[in-house]
Amino acid sequence: MNKYDVRKIIDSDIEEIAKFFHKTVHTVASKYYNKSQCDVWASKDKINIDFWKKRFKDEYVFVALFENKIVGFISLRDDGLLDHLYIDKKHQGTPVRNLLWRNILIKVEELGLKRIFTEASIMAMPIAKRMGFRLIKKQTIKIEDLELTNYLMEKMM
């Protein structure tokens, strides 16, 4: 049986996460967004350790590992924003999402949050619905000169 482990992020994970994020957007999200949109969402500039260190400075981040390799990560801010939930293409449909989600729910309880929210991508919106989030509104965000669609969603705790 294959075993997944989940733990809090450590500094040595940052570079692997940066590469993982770039790869995941360009393989999984490319089914929903065109190449130009994926390029601005996960530009080569974002394979940058300093960018991710700043990004994660004020977030609770958990990574899922399979055979000591990161196959997913999730992050939550103090204000209740579920900022990231990315799972490797080969590990979609495995226990990874649920394992990461359980760790975030523990953190939500520790923080005493009554509401969490996310800005889900087109691909993540149905998953967020299955996780109990409700749609607040469809949004168009602009990155550089390109528009991307996402969905503001919330879950009451």
* pLDDT tens readout for residues 96-135: 999 999 999 999 999 999 999 999 999 899 999 999 999 9
101 touches 73 (CB < 8 A): no
Please, which pLDDT band fits residue 1 given cuts at 50, 70 and 90? Answer: very low
The enclosing H or E element of 65 equals strand 59-66
Predicted confidence (pLDDT) at residue 10 exceeds the cutoff of 90: yes
User: In this structure, what DSSP letter does residue 150 have?
Assistant: E
**Polymer length in residues for the chain:** 157
Predicted confidence (pLDDT) at residue 15 exceeds the cutoff of 70: yes
Report the alpha-carbon distance of residue 70 to residue 64 in Å, rounded: 6
Predicted confidence (pLDDT) at residue 138 exceeds the cutoff of 90: yes
116 touches 80 (CB < 8 A): yes
Q: How far is CA 90 from CA 18, 19, 62, 95, 99, in A?
A: 18, 16, 19, 12, 16
Domain 4-113 architecture: 3-Layer(aba) Sandwich (3.40)
Closest CA relative to residue 68, chosen from 10, 129, 29, 18: 10
Domain boundaries, the chain: 4-113
